[in-house]
Chain A
């Protein structure tokens, strides 16, 4: 019983699973839709609309047994046709228009074996496929409903099999969900979910303080202590998917020298930054991934903070004191503004003058970086929702990828290729470790930290099962 109020920082504008990649979609979509596979808050893949699955035919076929007696919110039954429809749609014309299709290109087609069994025919290996099938684009949608009403309508009035039904949507303002009493996994405890779209972290915090929301998905780190002091509120900080690094432009000036790049990394006290500026809401990293990521090597240690040695290395490399370099970053990111300034301060101490250049986020992401127009360093921030280093590393280091405007390293390409084409997870993990080590050795970036996912909560809400990736499923939640 009761209503749970949730603040989201963004309105994706469309609730069609194939149309978006935004975290805020996941925060709602995962309540309305189910995938064949579901990922739990502790990152386990568990049966969703499929009760079991197995790879056959040398990993070229993946067979799902579907969950019986499941109905969409509009009463339409869930069956193999629905699965086929969903993937035909995702991989066909409709899917072309959205960003999700490219995640699922390893699937050739879906074949209906019987109403409760489907086969996925694969055209290339994809070791992360199961995780992806728990992802946004693979959410199962109702064929009849969509055929009747059209995609456009569906996007505004989504119907799924999930624990909550869509009830009212005011674009950019609010969204209301109501309990699905017939949910196959057991009906949720709260009657209603009220989402409000609040972009400013400070405003989310204020709303939380005013007691008008129960869950805030973005609160400013500087507010964490204040919120914790409030007896009615709580703050939850957990390992998250977002990693930050300063990527080096290896084509430019002093940055061409690997030793210089390493020296710069060693000149910056990342631990101090985490402790003070981020108030401990982050973890140091040695490679561009967080602890939850598949492929993270706990034995790999970040380069130590050692300004003296850094200075010596710079001197040896012939870098003159006072040499200046430029760091490009996302201007509106107030947190990173401070981090960037701190980095500049540390580098100043070893004789490197840094100028900081703020960019409007999209200009940086869609123009400056892909077109290789950056300064010597640039803010690289990545929230790999698959929690798999494959996805990240491929996008970051493979030649000509959008996030890799500068490097063309055959060895790295080969490694990336190898891991991507193997189903053997143990072997893959090995390769991923190797990649991480190689990247660190080449000093392609200064790994900074992996950012915690921080939620602000009202204590009246219980059993929220908050996940690190922001994909809420408030099936067990209760409110007082």
Chain B
């Protein structure tokens, strides 16, 4: 195991290099920050642009810039934003907790809701409960996340005035964004749990567990659930990754100061240092999550571990 983790860390470094290299290169393809920064100026000469570029250190060859960035990362210096010179590390340090909080709470909420619902649907397969659960869970998939988000805002903030419609101050602010994400995540999770459950419930050892007189709850949540945990864990891992990096739209609606928005703004502002820094952190988190998922496979299924 120790060796396995060590190997994965080496691979992670490789992944980080590839990702940051790609991102640094791609973002440089997609636009020139000097043009952006000078956009409002009356008339701009090529000389002005070059001055701006030189000021940002963009006049050097790409690989030199990249090497510089990597060197910075190694010593923990993420550079400064093109948009105003804010230290990138500070921006990330501010955004990361918000993102992690949202990701954790949404996932937790979703798991807490979808596991029982999915199991319930599986056990009552074909009956009314199952149909209702299946149809309701689809709502989260039929409307885009911003749509759900705006609906929640209209209902809970504007009409009922229960929750703050946006921002990041205190646990109350977390409710709606987490709810939005949880509704969406649950749509998939409920159905995954249901299916995986159906595959497991017919196993002999489930009959055996029942023969021991275990409460149905123990049979389902202990014996069956763990046996169908692999698709769930896989998917939750993926969802975590998505939540960390990809929920820009929801973050925007709730004005949630997360990494997704940071990355998004950095992309649209061609703010290379912020983007590179954010992506590095994203990649780190995702690599870590995938490592955890792989380790979890062995935990939930000892047969995988023994190889």
Contact = CB atoms under 8 A, between A and B. Distances in A.
Q: Do chains A and B touch in the complex (CB under 8 A)?
A: yes
Interface string B24-50: 000000111001111111111100100
B167 A196 contact: yes
Contact of B81 (A13, A200, A206, A401): A13
Contacts of B126: none
Chain B interface size, under 10 / 10 to 19 / 20 to 34 / 35 or more:
35 or more
Given A155-B84, A370-B35, A97 B51 contact: yes
A21 B85 contact: no
Nearest to A402: B44
Contact of A172 (B91, B154, B164): B91
B227 interface: no
A362 B86 contact: no
B69 interface: no
B52 A97 contact: yes
Contacts of B157: 206, 209-210
A102 B41 contact: yes
B168 interface: yes
A21 B37 CA distance: 8
B85 A13 contact: yes
A12 interface: yes
Interface stretch (A28-36, A262-270, A390-398): A390-398
Interface in B158-186: 158, 161, 164-168
A102 B52 CA distance: 11
A398 B43 contact: yes
B52 A199 contact: no
B55 interface: yes
Contact of B254 (A98, A196, A197, A203): A203
A167 interface: no
Contact of A171 (B51, B55, B90, B254): B90
A395 B43 contact: yes
Interface in B249-281: 252-255, 257, 261-262, 265, 268-270
A34 B23 CA distance: 41
Contacts of A21: 37-41
B19 interface: no
A394 B42 CA distance: 8
Contacts of A203: 153, 165-166, 252-255
A101 interface: yes
B150 interface: yes
Contacts of B261: 172, 199
A196 B157 CA distance: 17
B37 A366 contact: no
Contact of A362 (B44, B94, B154, B268): B268
Nearest to A226: B158
Interface string B47-72: 01001100110000000000000000
B167 A361 contact: no
B109 interface: no
Contacts of A101: 41, 48
Nearest to B166: A203
B167 A156 contact: no
B83 interface: yes
Given A97-B51, A155-B85, A196-B167, A366 B41 contact: no
Contacts of A210: 157-158, 161, 164-165
B31 A367 contact: yes
Contacts of B43: 102, 394-395, 398, 401-402
Nearest to A361: B268
A417 interface: no
B84 A14 contact: yes
A91 B185 CA distance: 54
Interface string B76-112: 0000110111100011001100000000000000000
B94 A99 contact: no
B255 A200 contact: yes
A406 B166 CA distance: 44
B257 A172 contact: yes
Of B35, B55, B165, most buried by chain A (CB within 10 Å of CB) is B165
A99 B268 contact: no
A363 interface: yes
Nearest to B83: A13
Nearest to B165: A206
B30 A103 contact: no
A198 interface: yes
A411 interface: no
Given A21-B41, A96-B51, A173-B257, A13 B167 contact: no
Closest CB pairs A-B (n = 9):
A14-B84, A21-B40, A13-B84, A97-B55, A206-B165, A366-B35, A13-B83, A96-B51, A99-B41
6 contacts: A97-B52, A156-B85, A171-B91, A172-B91, A363-B31, A366-B32
Given A21-B41, A173-B94, 19 more contacts: A12-B83, A13-B84, A14-B85, A96-B51, A97-B51, A101-B41, A102-B42, A102-B44, A102-B45, A102-B48, A203-B153, A203-B254, A203-B255, A206-B153, A209-B158, A210-B157, A210-B164, A362-B270, A370-B35
Interface of A: 12-16, 19-22, 96-103, 152, 155-156, 170-173, 196-200, 202-203, 206-207, 209-212, 360-363, 365-367, 370, 385, 391, 394-395, 398, 401-402
